[in-house]
Amino acid sequence: MPIKAVIFDMDGVLVDSEPAHQERIRQFFADHGLDVPTDQLNMLVGCSGGYFVTRATEWWAQSPCKSKEERTLAVMEAFQLWKDSHEPIDYGPLLNPGVRETLETLAARGIRLAVASSTSHEGIRQELGPSSTLPSFEVVVSGEEFRESKPDPEIYLTTMARLGLGPDECIAVEDSNRGIAAALAAGMRVAVKREQRFGFAQEGGTWYLDRIDELLDIVA
């Protein structure tokens, strides 16, 4: 059956945001006296907000350099105050090569576009807003809408339901192990963007891409 829609993950697929996120988390805890190893930071890639809070809470409890005021704060409150005092991430230049052209070409071909991201709706707006790509997507679904985000397939099942399409009419574009597993569990074919920085196995893909615009040869 012809492909009628492409459902994109965001972090790592549309926007090369993970290194910037990791650096902010690393620096926050370093400023509070804790060195978080890279392998532990890598475990956050593609995770749900709840998983991040759980791990960050553990690290916050281990952080030895907290002010008197910070000792009464939950980690996310302290992290937000810290972010407010630092320059925000500029996501515009982090749009992955070929993304804009791919979205424009797919739309011109009549292919419907959606985002299914574990990131919050506010995070999605922050990341896709600066590049003006957010309006390209007919449906935008966030993991914050569900009790369990990826690798649970509900985020993809919901996205397809909002499109009114089945798994044989859509493909997912993913990079993380959690995302790939979620799409496969939803019965979808997956185009996997290769990623070697975070220790992903990336198993189960139907296609593998070095650049997002290689998707145009698949959706032909």
Task: List per-residue pLDDT tens for the chain, 220 residues long.
Answer: 799 999 999 999 999 999 999 999 999 999 999 999 999 999 998 787 888 999 999 999 999 999 999 999 999 999 999 999 999 999 999 999 999 999 999 999 999 999 999 999 999 999 999 999 999 999 999 999 998 889 999 999 999 999 999 999 999 999 999 999 999 999 999 999 999 999 899 999 999 999 999 999 999 8
For 80-100, give one letter per residue: b (16+ CB within 10 A) or e: eebeeeeeebebeebbbebbb
Judge if the upstream peptide bond of residue 151 is cis by omega within 30 degrees of 0: yes
State which amino acid sits at residue 177. Answer: N
Residues 181 and 149 in one domain: yes
Task: Give domain status of residue 130, yes or no.
Answer: yes
CA–CA separation, 127 and 132 (whole Å)? 10
Residues 213 and 106 in one domain: yes
Residues 12 and 33 in one domain: no
Task: Give the structural domain span for 46.
Answer: 18-84
CATH number, domain with residue 152: 3.40.50.1000
Residues 70 and 57 in one domain: yes
Report how many domains make up the chain.
Answer: 2
pLDDT at residue 46, rounded to an integer = 79
Residues 104 and 203 in one domain: yes
pTM over 0.75: yes
Strand ranges inside 86-218, DSSP E: 112-117, 139-142, 170-174, 189-193, 207-209
Q: For residue 189, what are the β-bridge partners?
A: 171
